[in-house]
Structures are given as C-alpha cells and as structure tokens.
Amino acid sequence: MGMLNVLVAVSLAYVLFLFVVAFLADHAAARGHAKWLQSPLIYTLSLSIYCTAWTFYGAVGYAARSGLEYLTIYLGPSIVMIGWWWGLRKLVRIGRSQRVTSIADLISSRFGKSNSLAVVVTVIAVVGTTPYIALQLQSVTLALEAFAGEARTSAGHNATALWLAAGLALFTVLFGTRNLDANERHDGVVMAIAVEAVVKLLALVAVGLFVVWGIAGGVGPVMEMISQSEIAVWQVSSGRWAGLMFLSAAALLTLPRMFQVLVVENEDERHLATASWAFPAYLMAMSLFVVPIAVVGLELMPAGANPDLFVLTLPLSQGQDALAMLSFLGGFSSATSMVIVAAIALSTMVSNHIVMPIWLSSQGASAMVAGDVRHVVLLSRRLSIMGVLALGYFYFHATGGGEALAAIGLISFAGVAQTLPALLGGIFWRGATRVGALAGLVTGFVIWGYTMFMPSFGPDVFFTQDVLDHGPLGLVWLRPQALFGISGLDPMIHALVWSMSLNALFFVVASLVSFPTPLERLQGAQFVNVFDHSARPGVWSRGAAEAEDLLVMAQRILGPADAQALFRSEAASQGITGYLPQISPEFLQRLEREMAGSVGAATAHAMIGQIMGRASVTVEDLMAVADETAQIMEYSNQLEAKSAELVHTTRQLRAANEKLTQISHQKDAFLSQISHELRTPMTSIRAFSEILRDGGTLELKAQEKYAGIIHDEAIRLTRLLDDLLDLSVLENGQVSLNMRGGTIASVLDQAMAAAGAENNPMRIRRSGAREDVRLFSDLDRLAQVFINLISNAQKYCDAKSPVLTISVREVEGQLVVDFTDNGSGIPKASQEVIFEKFSRVGSDQAAGGAGLGLAICREIMLRLGGQIAYLPGQGGASFRVTLPDALEMAAQ
C-alpha cells in the first residue's frame, strides 16, 4: 500500500500545481500580461481535450482488440483541422461576431434565437456527455486500483470517484465561473488544460519509448512482434472505417467541450491556422505508440489482463514505478481536463437555456429592475456545474463502472453528432429553418436513443431480450438493432446510418416545406454570409425605450463598469458627451450582442425585447435578406448611409441649438441673478445697520444679534464675490495650480471634515482600502470639488435616511470617484444644465448657495485634466469625478 500512498501524494501535489497554474494565468490575464497566454500554441494544446482518458487508456485496449480501427478516431478530426479554411474558420468567425456562448447558443441564434431549439440541443449534449464524464471517473478509479494491485471494495471504488467528482467541481467552479462573459476567456482553465495536454503527451510517449526500446529492443523487433501478434493482418470493416472517421470528424465540431475550446475560447482566428497542422501532429504523436504498447502488452501480460490498462500495468510489471506514476498522471490529466471543460460547456448551456429562461419568466417583467442578474447567472452556472458532475457520478455509481461504460465513447460521439446537420446547414444554407432544425434534431436524437443508447445497457435495462430479438409488440421491423428489417449490419453503423440520414432528411424536407420568420431569415443571412462585411445587421428598429432604462438593465447584466463604458463609447461615437446615446438600431444590436456573451442570444434578445416593447423587423431590414437585389441593396445602402448621416448631423445640430438657446437664456438671467444674489444680503445689512444707527431702546442682546447678522451677511457677500472671481479666473485659464502628492483617502477625509459631515444626519459610505491610491495633483482644488459634491448631497438628498456612497474604482484604466446618494436624483431635463452657472434644480432655493458650485467644480476638473459628469441610472443623484491619469501622475 506504500506505493499507493506515494501515488496519492503525487496526484495531490499535481492537482495543487494545476491550481497554482490556473490561478497565476488568471492573475496574469487580469493584469493584462496575457500575450503569451493567448498564443496559438496554447490554443492548439487546449484542443487536446479531444484526447480523453478514453484515448489515453482506451486506445491501447481498442488496438489490442480490433487492430488499426482505433486510428479512425484521430484521422477524422485531422481531416476537419486540415480543412479549416472551409468549415472551422467560418464557425469561429460566426462564434466571435455573434458572441456565441455554446453550440446550443449558436444553433438557437441561427434559427431565430429560438430557445426551444437551444433546450433540445442542451438536452442532447447533457445526455450524450454525462456517460462520458462517468467514463473518465471510471478510468481514474481503475487506474488507482491497478496501482493498489488489488480490486478494492465497491465502497472504496465509489469513494474515489466521489472525491474526484467533488474536486473537479471545485476547480471548475473556481476557475470556470470567475467572470460572466463567456467571450472573456477562461484563461486559467485554458492554461491548466494546456499543461495537462503536455503531461499526457509526454506520459504516453515516454511509455511508448520505454516499450519500444526498453522492452522490445528497437523499431525492427517491434515490427516483427506486430507481425507475429493477433493483429498481424489488416482486417477492418469498410463500413466501420469510413463510418467512424465521419463520426469522429463530426464529434470534433459538435462535442460541447470541443466547441468550447475551438470556438468560444478562441482568441484570434489566426490561431486556427497554426492548429490546422499542429493539432493533427499532436493526434499523430498520441496514436504513434498505441499499437506497439498493445502488442507488447498482449505478449508480456498474463492472459486476461485488461488491455485498457496496459499503459499503466506494463511499466508496473517491469518495475518501472516512476514511469508508471507519470503514466498515471497522464491518464489523470486526460480525464480531468475533459471533465472540467465539459462541465463548463454544459453548465453554460444549462444555465443560459434552461435555468435563466425559467427564472426570468418566473420573475416576470420585474426581472429587469430587481436585483443584480449577474449574481443569478453566476449562481445558476455554479449549480449547473455541480449538477453536471453529480449526474456523471451517479451514472458511474448506477452502472457500477461495468462493461457498459467501455463502449460509451462512440455512443456519446454519435449522440452529439446529431447536431451536425443543423450546425452545418445553419452556416452554409440560408434555406434552413427552425422547424427543419427541430425536426432533424428530434428525429436523430430519438433514433439514436432507440437504436444505440438504450440497447447499450444490455438486455433488461431498457429493452428485454425479446424486444431486441423480435421488436416491440412483436413488430419485427422495429427491432432496435435492425430497423426496417435491415439486419446483419454492425450495430454502431446501423444506428449511425439511420439516425444521421433520417436526421438530415427531416432537416432538409422540413426546412423546404416550412417558412422562416423574418428574424430567422436575417440571422440566416448573417451566418451564411459572415465573411461578407456589407451584410448589415439590422434587427431592432428604433422604439420608445429610454436610454436610461437600457443602461439600468445593462448594468445588471454586464456589471456597472462595462455597461457604462459601452454606453459612453457609443455616445461618444455619436458625438454626444455623457452616458446616454441615441437609441439607434445599430446600438441595440451591439448591446444585445454584448449581453448575449453573458446570458446567451435568446435570453438577451428577449430581455431587450421586453424593454423595447416589441421585436420589430422592418421592410428595409428584410431587403437585406434578399440576395437577388444585391446590387439595388448596395446602392440603397449608400443612400441610406448618407441619409443616416444627415439625420445624425441634424440631431447633433438640434441638440447644439437647444443648448445654445438655453445658455443664452441663462446669460440673460445672469445679470438679474447676480443682482439678486448681491442685493439680498445687502438688504439685511442696510436694514440692520440703520436700526443700530438709530439707536433707541435696543437691548444689548438684540444689538449683538443684529451686529451678528450684518457680519454673516457680509461674509456671504464676500463668499459670493470669491466664487465669482474664482470662476472667472478658472474660466480664463489664469489659475495657478499647487501640485503635490497625496492619497485619495486623505483628500476625501479633508473634504468630509470641511463639509461638516460628522454633524450631518447624512451617512457616508466610503470604499476603504481602494481609496489608498496616490495621486499627484492640486489636492486643495480637488478637495474643493469633493466638498461641493458632499454638501450638495447633504442639501438636496431627500431620502428619509440619507446615505451618500463614495466609491473609488478604476474604469477603463482611469481612476474615478463616484458620489451617489439615495435620494430621488436629478430629472433628465435638468441633467444637461446643472453644470451651468446659477442653475439650480427645480425652483427651490438652496440654503445659501448661489448655484455656482457645480460650475466651479467643472472648471476645476477641466483645469486638473480630469472630468466631472452626471451619471444617470444609479438610483439617486450620482456624480462621477474622473481623475487625471492617476497612476502616471503618481509616478512623477
């Protein structure tokens, strides 16, 4: 048992190492040092999750039983990779341009963002992958037992699998659900599986080298041994050779985990070019030593030894414990990397297409306004990951890890391959419809289940021997393994031919007879013509939605920082400052895509639809679909672009004009305002000074009081004049800045003290350690801005228990300080003018203020090289102060 303990210790150390690798990679990616993480090499290595424990252990067993047939499993994908220019490149381009999160999302998105389609694909994927996960758990368990040298009790057997499943769930939750956006890659996970890819290749090659040169004595003798062995002669059934090659090629495209690494995690389309030769080379290296190991194993190992474990037992039997240990780690790597990626892929599908739609419909319209949807999505992903691994474990537990599992690899392939017609039809054929895809998928899935999946459990699980032999209810033509009386075929080929051909047939026929919805036609055009950049994506027409509503919703899904950045960049591209762009169809399209990266296309579409009130496709949009009118379209596109430009310019002009009129009104009011602000204190001063001058019978107390008033009003006058002068100096740019270094925290402390925050009922929440940022600026001026914002909040926040949140954070590489209160905010009409002189919100007169504060703040921030803006959609009134390049300045 000592050996086993060492093995367990080594495995744990290895797992720890993977954790560290994933953590460091995530960390590096988060800090932007991820160039090398996104190299084509890492991409290629991540594809190697195609080679699971089924490859690592099973290929040798397969070869020992059926000769060279095992090679088909690696030749098929090689064909697909070498032909990347045709298929994969298009798939990856679509995946990136549509921000696809999974294969279910891609198919659903192509066929009119139909969620029912996504659900069907998800179910197929879960049913097809669960046994495969069980297979991985089994292989690790068996390998451990081979080391222990004894068959352990079934309780120990299950315990190993359970620990493994739990550990993998932990890893996947930790590194797979860090960020929400599926298009923000899982750098940590990808890095870990790339490391595992290297380990498994090294392990298999090491065992191979040892077998060829260490045991057999060179290439010649090995060839001799092969010729002497049971598999000396080429004997492969032509049906199986071609069928399996097709099947494995299809699986490369349709396996959820492969789709995840190929398409979703793809960073750069050009990585495919490298993978096109490097991945076939990897597969070749993985399969090179399989036959020698099998033949030597058959020769040396006792009869009845499980050939599936030769990779492990052969070095063990030769006393090569270290090599055996490496081999174990190789198998372990193969199993774990597959399970991790499969769990991420499946959980994304389950969460986006099953859990989220249910949650959203149960919440009704309130889902858009209540709570942070991101937390729900993350939670549902985490639960889905645990659910998927639990399913795998229970499958393993229920089947007892028996023989049924050994054949599951191909069965799983055939199951997920049922999505192939819909996938290929979707990206190459504009005529494919949702009804067709649904018909094909369901047909293929049912036939696969009936002819392959259910019989695989052997008699008396789903079918009795009688049903297998004579068909259900005695209907001979419905025998699961000889449909329509065609018997004598290999059962695998039988199931594959029937399921795929009927699947494709139903898909095509139902597509031909049905009629697609406008959205389907648009999506179809976009998918099929993805390389044609002129294809204009226009699905949303302008509706009544307020930009602020959309911002509120987007913040809940993308997170405040990303959503604000998106809105601001869109507004900037429209020539508008602030966070609320014009709602153009292009903007809605972009927003929907961003959101699709988080919650899937169908859900994102539904959410925007709910806010917009309608999902409308206009006649002009449909014009884009008709390729017969391509030339007319080109011309009208140009016209349209011009008219759109005109509309845009007009819009800008109108906005500018409105603002000018407003400002001129304010200029007009300026003198009258100054007069008012000066005369009011003067009135008190004059009145009381006359009273005092007249003397008479004033009590001493009254005299003191009146003198006090005169004094206060004089100060008020002085302050007003100071403010006016300050503003004029700032506006003329004659201000001299007193630059020095300090931390945000200390500036905020100073401001809070000056604003009298301690004795004010308003509670102030700060952001703690994040304020500990050094900056180099005119800190007194900055404090002046902060004081203004704090005392404004104290004056105007109308909440029962007023709270001001001051949060410091980094947005798009710039340090921002947000001042957000919980009052009723500033009405949209006033948001435009609050930074103008003498503008006050509403008609209420501020206690003591002349309405110059925010105007001064704006000028100060301008001088300091920063910005101050009103931030809409935050609940209460919210001001964002953007500091001038804080980090750069701190370095000075």
Partner 1 sequence: MRKADHPLFLERESYRRRRLMDAARVAPVITAFLFCFPLLWVGREDVPTTFAIIYLFSVWLVLVVGAYFLSRRLRDMPGRTDRTRR
Partner 2 sequence: MGKRVLLIEDEPNIIEAISFILSRDGWDVDTHANGRDAVDRVKERNPDLVILDVMLPGRSGFDILGDLRNQPETIDLPVLMLTARGQTKDREMAKRLGASCFMTKPFSNAEVLDIVRSLVEGQKAAS
Closest separation in Å from C-beta 842 to partner 2: 9
Of 275 and 855, which CB lies nearer to partner 1 in the complex structure? 275
- Within 691-840, strands assigned E span 740-743, 763-765, 774-777, 803-811, 814-821
Q: Which two tokens stand for residue 33?
A: 């040092």
**Of the candidate residues 4, 10, 28, 79, the single one contacting partner 1 (CB under 8 A):** 79
Closest separation in Å from C-beta 638 to partner 1: 15
Out of partner 2, partner 1, none, what residue 672 binds, judged by CB under 5 to 8 A for its kind, is partner 2
Report which secondary-structure segment, H or E, holds 399. helix 373-399
Closest separation in Å from C-beta 62 to partner 1: 14
CA 69, CA 331: separation in Å to the nearest integer?
Answer: 21
Tokens 């020992």 sit on residue: 64
Q: Is 493 in the site for partner 1 (CB under 8 A)?
A: no
Q: Pairing relation of β-strands 763-765 and 803-811?
A: parallel
φ, ψ dihedrals at 458, nearest 5° = 85, 175
Q: Residue 858: which of 722, 670, 731, 669 has the closest Cα?
A: 731
Tokens 């003018």 sit on residue: 833
Q: Residue 256: which of 320, 400, 364, 352 has the closest Cα?
A: 352
Closest separation in Å from C-beta 202 to partner 1: 19
**Of the candidate residues 55, 108, 276, 792, the single one contacting partner 1 (CB under 8 A):** 276
Of 56 and 84, which CB lies nearer to partner 1 in the complex structure? 84
- Look at phi and psi of residue 458 and say left if phi exceeds 0, alpha if psi is from -120 to 50, else beta: left
Stretch that binds partner 1, among 120-128, 144-152, 531-539, 725-733 (CB under 8 A): 531-539
Rounded to 10 degrees, the C-alpha dihedral 799/804/805/810 comes to 120
Out of partner 1, partner 2, none, what residue 690 binds, judged by CB under 5 to 8 A for its kind, is partner 2
Q: Which two tokens stand for residue 746?
A: 């200390």
Of 94 and 841, which CB lies nearer to partner 1 in the complex structure? 94
Of 1 and 671, which CB lies nearer to partner 2 in the complex structure? 671
Closest separation in Å from C-beta 225 to partner 1: 10
Could you tell me how many residues of this chain bind partner 1 (CB under 8 A)? 43
CA 840, CA 820: separation in Å to the nearest integer?
Answer: 18
Out of partner 1, partner 2, none, what residue 691 binds, judged by CB under 5 to 8 A for its kind, is partner 2
**Of the candidate residues 36, 86, 457, 635, the single one contacting partner 1 (CB under 8 A):** 86
CA 854, CA 762: separation in Å to the nearest integer?
Answer: 20
Q: Is 44 in the site for partner 1 (CB under 8 A)?
A: no
Closest separation in Å from C-beta 141 to partner 1: 32
Q: Is 205 in the site for partner 1 (CB under 8 A)?
A: no
Q: Is 347 in the site for partner 1 (CB under 8 A)?
A: no
Q: Is 241 in the site for partner 1 (CB under 8 A)?
A: yes
Who contacts 468 (Cβ-Cβ below 8 Å, separation ≥6)?
455, 459, 479, 480, 481
Q: Is 628 in the site for partner 1 (CB under 8 A)?
A: no
Out of partner 2, partner 1, none, what residue 372 binds, judged by CB under 5 to 8 A for its kind, is none
CA 212, CA 687: separation in Å to the nearest integer?
Answer: 112
Closest separation in Å from C-beta 423 to partner 1: 17
* CB-side neighbour CA atoms (13 Å) of 102: 31
**By CB neighbour count within 10 A (0-12 exposed, 13-18 middle, 19+ buried), where does 570 fall?**
buried
Sign of CA dihedral 586, 588, 592, 595: positive
Cβ(564)–Cβ(579) under 8 Å?
A: yes
Out of partner 1, partner 2, none, what residue 589 binds, judged by CB under 5 to 8 A for its kind, is none
**Of the candidate residues 64, 216, 245, 856, the single one contacting partner 1 (CB under 8 A):** 245
| Three-point CA angle 614, 615, 616, nearest 5° | 105
Out of partner 2, partner 1, none, what residue 68 binds, judged by CB under 5 to 8 A for its kind, is partner 1
Q: Is 429 in the site for partner 1 (CB under 8 A)?
A: no
Closest separation in Å from C-beta 211 to partner 1: 15
Out of partner 2, partner 1, none, what residue 150 binds, judged by CB under 5 to 8 A for its kind, is none
Closest separation in Å from C-beta 534 to partner 1: 9
Tokens 């799983």 sit on residue: 412
DSSP 763-793: EEE--GGGG--EEEE-HHHHHHHHHHHHHHH
**Of the candidate residues 533, 693, 701, 800, the single one contacting partner 1 (CB under 8 A):** 533
Of 226 and 691, which CB lies nearer to partner 1 in the complex structure? 226
Of 288 and 369, which CB lies nearer to partner 1 in the complex structure? 288
When computed from its CA atoms, the radius of gyration of the chain, rounded to whole angstroms, is 35
Of 662 and 673, which CB lies nearer to partner 2 in the complex structure? 673
Closest separation in Å from C-beta 232 to partner 1: 6
Of 391 and 423, which CB lies nearer to partner 1 in the complex structure? 423
φ, ψ dihedrals at 545, nearest 5° = -65, 145
Stretch that binds partner 1, among 54-62, 278-286, 500-508, 577-585 (CB under 8 A): 278-286
Tokens 């004598």 sit on residue: 488
The three-state DSSP-derived secondary structure of 129-143 is HHHHHHHHHHHHHHH
Out of partner 2, partner 1, none, what residue 223 binds, judged by CB under 5 to 8 A for its kind, is partner 1
Q: Is 776 in the site for partner 1 (CB under 8 A)?
A: no
| Three-state DSSP class for residue 874 | strand
Which residues are near partner 2 by CB under 8 A? 671-672, 675-677, 679-688, 690-691, 694, 709, 712-713, 843-845
DSSP 211: I
Footprint on this chain of partner 1 (rule: CB under 8 A): 67-68, 71, 75, 78-86, 89, 93, 223, 226-227, 231-238, 241-242, 245, 269-270, 273-274, 276-277, 280-281, 284, 288, 291, 531-533
